[in-house]
């Protein structure tokens, strides 16, 4: 783990970056290196995992504080804290001796460090097309998470052996000491130096996990994307995060959705917006238009005299409201195209129309051939 890059460097940020800076940097890089956008690119896949790990820590206030103070050792379960692995930290997110210093001045028994603790959540991202977000789909997300060791079934002890209760602390994970100070004797509760707060001693540690009872594994998780999900929304998959400690429940997998831009459609809530170009003749006389929707092509009769900027509605052709069967509408804005070039006959017709409605038009400047013909 010594060669692991600094998380701020991974996201291209300074240590003073705000929460919004961290979120923006993550979304930009996650989209750039997402496996769906870089199929078969192992380098991009590794960068994507590295970016996700950095964001998982820096987006969590408690983990960020630990990382800013202790570096990778403060947040990475593969780093040891005396006894190795996860046991070196107390339940409040810091090292045991820091709590002991505080307690040595103010006393107090502290909390048992051998109780069940919930596992940490994992953050990931998935990129969807406009249509996938509109109608829902299934996606697979690759994650790296800490799981109970299959060799020892999470006990940390080699097969055929068991962990023994720590004789130093009696299984409490803490010891009480008395110190002589200028203010008198001060009692404090400290992490047990024999079992490092675990309350048990493993004499024959599991060879697979080194006595931790947990291992990091790569997994592919299938996700059902609900119809109508919007860009930036997060799907929570319960108990798909890191395994808990001492029998505690697993954390969650939090998957944030990113939606690619569509070449035709835009979205506002459950509404779909788009533009359609029509000729000025169609706008003036009316026309039957063929309009592209999420469901395919549909016919729409545009009335005569339609002005540019006019918007018409196609009911029920929008996005499904999340977790309902109600569907929004599609709004189509008309853009009237004015021809840049005209044939002589087209110009003559338009000039006749202009004369009929009393509009004066500039006479076209005659060229050499026009003069010669005359």
What pLDDT, in 10s, does the model give residues 297-344?
999 999 999 999 999 999 999 999 998 999 999 999 999 999 999 999
CATH architecture of the domain formed by 1-76: Orthogonal Bundle (1.10)
Tokens of 330: 């599609």
Tokens of 123: 């953050």
Helix axes 61-70, 42-58, angle to 10 degrees: 100
Separation between Cα atoms, residue 93 and residue 63, nearest integer Å: 8
Provide CATH 1.10.287.110 ranges for the chain.
1-76
- 358-365's contacts with Cβ under 8 Å and 24+ in sequence apart are none
Lowest mean pLDDT among 115-119, 132-136, 155-159, 181-185: 181-185
What's the number of CA atoms in the CB half-sphere (13 Å) around residue 10? Answer: 24
Highest mean pLDDT pick, 2-16, 62-76, 172-186, 318-332: 318-332
Provide CATH 2.60.260.20 ranges for the chain.
77-259, 266-340
- The answer to whether residues 231 and 181 touch, using CB atoms and an 8 Å cutoff, is no
**Residue 90 pLDDT grade (very low, low, confident, very high; cuts 50, 70, 90):** very low
Highest mean pLDDT pick, 17-21, 161-165, 272-276: 272-276
pLDDT at residue 292, rounded to an integer? 97
Taking the CB of residue 278, how many other CB atoms lie within 10 A of it? Answer: 19
- Residue 209 to residues 176, 212, 215, 296, Cα–Cα distance (Å): 31, 6, 6, 55
**Residue 86 pLDDT grade (very low, low, confident, very high; cuts 50, 70, 90):** very low
Higher pLDDT, 364 or 369: 364
Lowest mean pLDDT among 66-70, 152-156, 275-279: 66-70
The predicted model gives 128-141 an average pLDDT of 96
pLDDT at residue 143, rounded to an integer? 93
- Average confidence score pLDDT of the chain: 83
Q: Is the pLDDT of residue 98 over 50?
A: no
The predicted model gives 270-296 an average pLDDT of 96
The predicted model gives 351-374 an average pLDDT of 71
Rg for the chain (alpha carbons), in Å?
34
Taking the CB of residue 124, how many other CB atoms lie within 10 A of it? Answer: 24
Higher pLDDT, 67 or 134: 134
- The answer to whether residues 197 and 173 touch, using CB atoms and an 8 Å cutoff, is yes
CATH class held by domain 77-259: mainly beta
Higher pLDDT, 118 or 93: 118
The pLDDT tens digits for 25-68 are 988 898 888 877 788 888 888 888 888 888 888 988 888 888 88
- Residue of 285, 245, 12 whose CA lies nearest to 117: 245
pLDDT at residue 106, rounded to an integer? 40
Q: Is the pLDDT of residue 85 over 90?
A: no
At the fourth CATH level, the homologous superfamily of domain 266-340 is: Urease metallochaperone UreE, N-terminal domain (2.60.260.20)
- Residue of 90, 89, 97, 87 whose CA lies nearest to 195: 87
Higher pLDDT, 195 or 131: 131
Q: Is the pLDDT of residue 181 over 80?
A: no
């Amino acid at each position: 783990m010594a060669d692991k890059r600094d998380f701020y460097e991974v996201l291209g940020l300074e240590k003073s970056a705000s929460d919004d800076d961290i979120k923006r940097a993550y979304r930009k890089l996650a989209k750039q290196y997402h496996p769906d956008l870089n199929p078969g690119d192992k380098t991009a896949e590794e960068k994507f995992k590295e970016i996700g790990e950095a964001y998982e820590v820096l987006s969590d206030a408690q983990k960020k504080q630990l990382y800013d103070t202790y570096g990778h050792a403060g947040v990475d379960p593969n780093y040891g804290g005396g006894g190795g692995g996860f046991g070196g930290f107390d339940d409040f997110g810091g090292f045991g001796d820091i709590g002991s210093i505080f307690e040595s001045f103010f006393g107090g028994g502290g909390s048992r460090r051998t109780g069940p603790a919930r596992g940490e959540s994992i953050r990931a991202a998935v990129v969807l097309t406009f249509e996938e977000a509109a109608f829902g789909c299934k996606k697979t997300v690759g994650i790296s998470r800490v799981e109970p060791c299959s060799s020892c079934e999470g006990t940390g002890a080699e097969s055929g052996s068991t962990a023994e209760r720590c004789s130093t602390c009696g299984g409490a994970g803490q010891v009480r000491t008395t110190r002589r100070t200028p203010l008198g004797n001060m009692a404090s509760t400290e992490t047990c130096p024999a079992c490092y707060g675990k309350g048990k001693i493993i004499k024959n540690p599991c060879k697979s996990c080194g006595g931790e009872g947990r291992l990091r594994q790569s997994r592919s998780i299938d996700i059902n994307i609900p119809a109508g999900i919007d860009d930036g929304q997060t799907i929570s998959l319960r108990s798909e995060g890191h395994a808990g400690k001492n029998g505690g429940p697993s954390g969650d997998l939090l998957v944030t959705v990113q939606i690619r831009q569509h070449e035709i459609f835009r979205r506002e809530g459950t509404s779909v917006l788009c533009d359609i170009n029509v000729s000025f003749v169609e706008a003036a006389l009316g026309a039957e238009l063929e309009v592209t929707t999420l469901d395919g092509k549909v016919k729409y009769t545009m009335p005569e005299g339609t002005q540019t900027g006019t918007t018409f509605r196609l009911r029920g052709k929008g996005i499904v409201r999340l977790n309902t069967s109600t569907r929004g509408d599609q709004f189509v804005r008309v853009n009237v195209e004015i021809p840049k070039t005209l044939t002589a006959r087209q110009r003559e017709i338009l000039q006749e129309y202009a004369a009929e409605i009393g509009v004066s038009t500039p006479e076209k400047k005659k060229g050499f051939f026009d003069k010669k013909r005359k």
